[in-house]
Structure 1
Amino acid sequence: MQLLQFVLFGVLAVEVAAVPFPSNHVLHERRLDAPKAWIKRDRVAESALFPVRIGMTQSNLDKGHDLLMDVSKHGSPKYGKHYSPQEVAEIFAPMQSSVDAVHDWLSSAGIAGEKISQSTNKQWMQFDASAFDLETLLNTKYHIYEHTETGKLTVACDEYHVPAYIQEHVDYITPGTKLVAPFKKTNEDPELRKRIFGVTSGQKLPPLLKDLGMTVEALLAVPELQACGTVVTPACIKALYQVPIGSKADPSNALGIFEDLGDVYSQEDLNLFFATFAQSIPQGTGPKLEAIDGATAPDAVLQAGAESDLDFQVSFPLIYPQGTVLFQTDDPVYEADYVYEGFLNNFLDALDGSYCSTVDPLDPPYPDPSNATGAYKGALQCGVYTPTNVISISYGGQEVDLPIAYQRRQCTEFMKLGMQGVSVVLASGDSGVAGPAGDGSSNGCLGTGKIFSPDFPANCPYITTVGSTTLPAGGNATDDAETSTTRFPSGGGFSNIYATPDYQQTAVSSYLTNSPPPYDSYSTTDNGAIGANGGIYNKGGRGYPDVSAVGDNIVIYNKGAPTLIGGTSASAPIFASILTLINEERLAAGKSTIGFVNPTLYAHPEAFHDITVGSNPGCNTTGFAAAKGWDPVSGLGTPIYPSLLEVFMSL
């Protein structure tokens, strides 16, 4: 009810002349199908008041890809000559012509000029309007939608229109077409935007957690590296990828880790893990907290989140004495009953004030308007933290659940981070070729239930997406026996929004030619022809993952006890740690950070163990198959640290 109450808030409506729908309007955004978890209810009352926000098109976006490639391609004379945050902001600020065009359109439609304002970051035009006036302005109809599982209500339209001459100046408008299921804290709902499943009612352990199967004493009694096929320890990871002991402690080179959804690490768990498996790390060692919008950390041991515990327990032993930075978002009051649809925006806001918008209704408002004890009463934090050189993210959802313009706006922000020398590493998901089940369909697939559903933001071409591998029982860390994971299918596939980027064209083409999937395909961008001609995957899309790392049977301490955990949530911080070590060596040699690494990775497949066994089933199929070279199961393969270091040190 929270959003509906906000929409009906008693504020004077803006007076807009009720005029017939202009003939020069064109379709700007349309939702293909409402997710099955939503039921369309009544039309919104004509007098209901909407906070209208128009995201204006940033300038030079058509040049952004080339600008990023100039500083990221291994053969470019500009390699490593990254941009400052100020330079990036100036390059992409909306053009004055866009600001003027949108303002003139609204004024000509009858909205009083004093009612229209531009956000402080220049990217949003904002005003309030009644449902009747906004429907007239955009030639649309707004309905109340009810989420069947939670009873939560939201307001959306199926499509909306703008004048043809305005379309090039507008990214997207809210309220708009977006319908995303509300999500809860980790221990309440198994279908989260996480890569580690939460505990469901009646279960002692989540699906990707399992008992250690032996005492810690028995494990430690096994000769080092011989039990890696059963239990993966820090020593196993180092041996698998030939990672040396860290030697430097450059304060400018801490690894950044993003956490959300109320999942918070426990220092007691870290201490237990260090004492058992990484004794060179002093007790009390933990991440530096960069709290975003009222977030808190660490948590009491019995409340500790498995995701956050995992991220730090796999990364610290690889990078120490380098440090970590925890970007923890959102205050506990919001996390207890999270009904807002935004994802990652608050984090990006905190890093880039030019991206930040205090008026986007898709995200939690700050100061928190509630009277709940502990509610964060500070302003939304904009541009308050410096991004670390490498950032690891282990959260995501279905591409189809989010408006294309919303995704593109965030993906552009990751492109900007790459231009500044930041590497963003993301877990590819644990559902194979499907998305998380429950919102789009019962099996997380599209259309008839057999069309593959790509992940967001794994689909973004400016992120390094990481799949997961496993060692077979009895395998060790030195026999190159990794396969794709079998206890859960590693996420992988092809985006329906983004075309295959130039840096992976050769690799993707080779896979489709030499190891063609046994399914009909289609070719689209912007969700234009999903399932055309009976196809179930987009052969023309951005392929993911880019790389892989071990992601199952990882031993951690959680809630004070040792256990095994699995998920691409383990793989992402492992690969991010390896990039952090490479930056450590480059910085010591007076070189720049490596920034966006994908072009260099695809140019050097010899720096990876090629994973050729396994698949990622889903959508009533066996999914894609691992193959020689890049594939949409394991990407280029798992890293060989000395080889990757040699490549990047030569640049």
Structure 2
Amino acid sequence: MHFAILPLLAATTFELAAGRAVPEPHTVHEKRDVTAGTGRWAKGNRVASNVKVPVRVGLKQSSEALERAESWIMEISHPASEKFGQHWTSEEVVEAFRPASEAVDEVVAWISETLSIPTKHITHTDNKAWLAFDASVDDLESLLQTEYHEHHDETTGRSMITCDEYHVPSHLSGHIDYITPGVKGIQVHSSELKKRSWKSGHHGGHGPSGWQPPKTRPAPHMPKPGNELATCDQVITPACLQALYHFKPLPKNAVVSPNNSMGIFEEGDFYAQQDLNSFFTNFTSYIPNGTHPTLDSVDGGLAPIANLSEAGGESNLDFMLAIPIIYPQTTTLYQTDDLYYAEGGNGTTSGIFNTFLDAIDGSYCTYSAYGETGDDAVLDPTYPDPNGYQGQRMCGVYKPTNVISISYGEQEQDLPAYYQQRQCNEFLKLGLQGVSIFVASGDTGVGGIPGDGAANGCLKNGTVFSPTQPNSCPWLTNVGATKVYPGRTVYEPESAVVDPAGHPYRGAYSSGGGFSNIFPIPSYQSSAVATYFADHNPPYPYYFNGQYNSSDGLYNRNGRGIPDVAANGDNIAVYLGGKFKTEGGTSASSPIFAALVVRINEERIKAGKGPVGFINPTLYSHPYVLNDIVNGTNPGCGTDGFSCAPGWDP
């Protein structure tokens, strides 16, 4: 979390913390690797002793909760469980993961007694994970036996205060996750600092670092109305999807649940209403022009785009696929971050999803796990934004929809493991509350985006497979891509997407899949993965526990498998910038599968039941409800990747 503080002034006469002896019962709690530097952050002046700073002590969540989390979500998500579908409330989730009461009391007593602060002035946050109070730098240096300095980012002009190490009483070390300001600094918003020479920068591009928009090309021809099924190997229309997956549109006057809207995440890409209208006119006449998503703007996110020439391929694609499947049910657009940040401003192009998760779960704003609490000072946007959204960061302002589709992502290597692990815990908590999260598995096969890692997007020396993020988290559903091959029909089995460079897109495209280097195989997937290895063992050397640097292996043998399911993701009919085109990408597959689950939820709600929630245990227990894709590969890293096989495969 980022806070405004009083102007920082150079330290001159106050006592150096370095001159204080560290009491015997204290221990170093966090220490920066000084030899490795602090990236682009340059260490500056000491912070004046009288400056007041907001102090936040992140408390370690219940160890029992961490150990039992998987059993909890399996208990309500596995169809064989007596508690199947008995989703938790948000209050029950907070209570389950809260730190132990005795731990809270001991840390509060230490702060209160050391700084002579009445306990009533130490706030215990609603999510139970933080203790909050204000203190002068002098008092904080005394409490933590450290010294604070300004740090400046010469690239972006941002400033924060931080220390190289700090100490806590040894008997409290096991209760405290970490403290800010500490090794992790807090952002500084100060008119005094704005007079300095560090300049803000704006970096162009759309969407987060590593994200690629769907692949677009002019359509070979507009399908003839009433004859669309004859050309589904060239252009996938709503009629093709209905034939492939055996469903019909709802009657346009159907009564639908007011609490079953489909959520779609977007960032740095914006739909155009004119394009939606053209699509409805030509392909879904039962949907009236003007139909559009409900906007839940997150931290200044705005849509639709006013200028048709600036229409976003990703946003248009998502709504042109989802709306025809679920209409007259509604869609909800989570348009995230103001334009400055969404397009890479101020260097915040690495972090992704944190501000979105803040907005749909207020407890996540200050949730502490894996050494990370709140938004990351380096990776995530800072609000108010002097270049855009002037409000405070949104926390818990929107209720999450039952189903959320995400067609954005990066590679595991792009973000720290702790950042991904903390988000994964949040996906688990959303699953406990009955929310289904679907994520596109990526478009570069077993590799990554060229230039991300090695030149070919792979790890180590350009040969090790690169897993995608957030896909490796076990508590969401990954959706890979299939296609109707040329000369095939919608009445024949689909194949995995394998489009060589230039056929038809400029870059090669194949469905993302593989095994995580961070997360282990979840219990619901263990049998399917074991069967795959036993019956269809890949012809590559492998390693264990994500340790590819000390191995000649190409993939992690005991990592969470990606993807879980698949849906069509090639030659998709769209309108973009007023023109008819076709697009490809797992960006299409995720909203298709997610929309079908929205339809399933509609039927459950009519029957007096709740949403399916985290659906993976059901799918892996009953794979016969899915079409088995047995043809195709996902090449990358100088290999053919993994081959499709009967049953689950990566």
Give the TM-score normalised by structure 2.
0.81
Aligned to 1:226: 230
How far apart are residue 326 of structure 1 and its match?
0.7
The 5 Å alignment of 1:234-633 reads 234-247=238-251, 248=254, 249-260=256-267, 262-300=268-306, 301-336=308-343, 337-340=345-348, 341-357=350-366, 360-362=375-377, 363-368=380-385, 370=386, 372=387, 375-486=388-499, 487-524=508-545, 529-632=547-650
Aligned equivalents of 2:548 and 2:147: distance in 1? 26
CA contact 2:482–2:494 (8 Å) conserved in 1: no
Aligned equivalents of 1:160 and 1:381: distance in 2? 30
1:285-315 deviation per Cα after TM superposition (whole angstroms, max 9, x unaligned): 1111111122211112222111111100001
Residue 245 to residue 143, structure 1, CA distance change in 2 (3 Å): same
Residue 298 to residue 617, structure 1, CA distance change in 2 (3 Å): same
Q: Secondary structure at the match of 1:507?
A: helix
How far apart are residue 189 of structure 1 and its match?
5.6
CA contact 1:500–1:543 (8 Å) conserved in 2: yes
Aligned to 2:76: 71
Aligned to 1:192: 209
CA contact 2:351–2:415 (8 Å) conserved in 1: no
> 5+ unaligned residues in a row in structure 2: which ranges?
186-199, 367-372, 500-507
Aligned equivalents of 2:176 and 2:635: distance in 1? 39
The 5 Å alignment of 1:156-195 reads 168-171=174-177, 188=205, 192-195=209-212
Larger deviation, residues 12-21 vs 322-331:
12-21
CA contact 1:9–1:48 (8 Å) conserved in 2: no
CA contact 1:436–1:444 (8 Å) conserved in 2: yes
Residue 176 to residue 212, structure 1, CA distance change in 2 (3 Å): farther
CA contact 1:121–1:354 (8 Å) conserved in 2: yes
CA contact 2:148–2:162 (8 Å) conserved in 1: no
Aligned equivalents of 2:591 and 2:567: distance in 1? 9
CA contact 2:541–2:552 (8 Å) conserved in 1: yes
How far apart are residue 554 of structure 1 and its match?
0.6
Residue 435 to residue 125, structure 1, CA distance change in 2 (3 Å): farther
CA contact 1:546–1:598 (8 Å) conserved in 2: yes
Aligned to 1:636: none
How far apart are residue 84 of structure 1 and its match?
1.4
CA contact 2:336–2:342 (8 Å) conserved in 1: no
Aligned to 2:60: 57
1:600-638 deviation per Cα after TM superposition (whole angstroms, max 9, x unaligned): 000111111111222222223322222121111xxxxxx
CA contact 1:195–1:568 (8 Å) conserved in 2: no
Q: Secondary structure at the match of 2:518?
A: strand
How far apart are residue 514 of structure 1 and its match?
1.5
How far apart are residue 541 of structure 1 and its match?
1.0
CA contact 1:43–1:141 (8 Å) conserved in 2: no
Aligned equivalents of 1:157 and 1:605: distance in 2? 52
**Letter aligned with residue 365 of structure 2:** C
**Letter aligned with residue 46 of structure 2:** S
Aligned equivalents of 1:442 and 1:140: distance in 2? 40
Confirm whether residue 10 of structure 1 aligns to residue 1 of structure 2. Answer: no
Aligned equivalents of 2:460 and 2:165: distance in 1? 19
Larger deviation, residues 507-516 vs 325-334:
325-334
How far apart are residue 328 of structure 1 and its match?
1.0
Aligned equivalents of 1:271 and 1:162: distance in 2? 61
Q: CA RMSD in A?
A: 4.0
Larger deviation, residues 481-490 vs 282-291:
481-490
Aligned equivalents of 1:251 and 1:611: distance in 2? 35
Larger deviation, residues 355-364 vs 8-17:
8-17
Q: Secondary structure at the match of 2:551?
A: helix
The 5 Å alignment of 1:112-131 reads 121-125=127-131
1:303-336 deviation per Cα after TM superposition (whole angstroms, max 9, x unaligned): 2111111100001111111111111111234335
Aligned to 1:213: 220
The 5 Å alignment of 1:16-165 reads 17-18=17-18, 40=39, 44-45=43-44, 47=46, 55-59=58-62, 60-100=65-105, 121-125=127-131
CA contact 1:28–1:167 (8 Å) conserved in 2: no
CA contact 2:496–2:511 (8 Å) conserved in 1: no
> 5+ unaligned residues in a row in structure 1: which ranges?
198-207, 633-651
CA contact 2:358–2:394 (8 Å) conserved in 1: yes
How far apart are residue 366 of structure 1 and its match?
2.7
